[in-house]
Amino acid sequence: MREYQIYGRVFVLVKDPLPESINLFSTLEKIEKSIPNYLLHDLDSIYIGQFEEFAERDINAFYRDGAIFATNDQVDDSDLMDDLVHEMAHSVESYYSAQIYGDGEIEQEFLGKRRRLLDLLTQHDLDINLKDKSLRDSFFDLKYSQKFDNMLYKDIGYTLLNNITRGLFCNAYAITSLREYFASGFEEFYMADRQYLKKICPALFEKLRYLNNLNEE
């Protein structure tokens, strides 16, 4: 097991080897320079390797009890960075939940986009049963639904969804729940295009800007 450290306090433990093409040190350095330390109060450690939950839940990474677990099966540095930053977003969300969701503005923005998505899917006349009441109700549920995700991922496909929802969501995965909407926006804010996020998700952008400036208050 190889051990690294970021922010002078968060341990990064590599349980199973990464591909030789991955520059972990460079990836961690970019993250450290991009995301403020003070946002990551809840993050204590990062584990990279193979874990049972990945196969059980069909995922590549997850955040739990102050720790991030990410697969070592990564394509390149960007792939690894995406996983780590996305789970860091869930750490931030856990600690700053009241500040993020207290005024209900992000929820309203998210549900408005879900309504628009339902209209778009109806217009495209895709081969999905949008008359199913439980499925239609899922469009207005903030929490993750396996049935809803299966519809997005398996019945429609994220590639087509990305095209249909361009300019509405940061990416197709942001559609799956309010938590993933926040985490995808967090990635866009710190690792991609803030102005694009501001344009398509103004409420989410303002909340992230507020969090980013907390240390200046």
Res 31: pLDDT: 97
Q: What is the CATH architecture of 2-95?
A: 2-Layer Sandwich (3.30)
H/E stretch holding 88: helix 77-95
How far apart CA 111 and CA 49 sit, in angstroms, is: 36
Q: What is the C-alpha to C-alpha distance for residues 172 and 158, in angstroms, rounded to an integer?
A: 6
Question: Rounded to two decimals, what is the model's pTM?
Answer: 0.94
What whole-number percentage of the chain has pLDDT above 90? 80
- Nearest CA to 86 out of 151, 171, 157 is that of 171
pLDDT in the model for residue 125: 77
pLDDT for position 216: 61
Q: Looking at this protein, which amino acid is placed at residue 101?
A: Y
pLDDT confidence of residue 127: 67
Domain ranges of the chain: 2-95, 100-216
> Helix, strand, or coil here: 53?
helix
Query: Over the stretch 23-32, which tens digit does the pLDDT of each residue have?
Result: 999 999 999 9
Using 50 as the pLDDT threshold, list the residues of the chain that sit under it.
none
Express the helix, strand and coil content of the chain in percent, nearest 5 each. 60, 10, 30
Q: What residues does 169 pair with on adjacent strands? A: 166
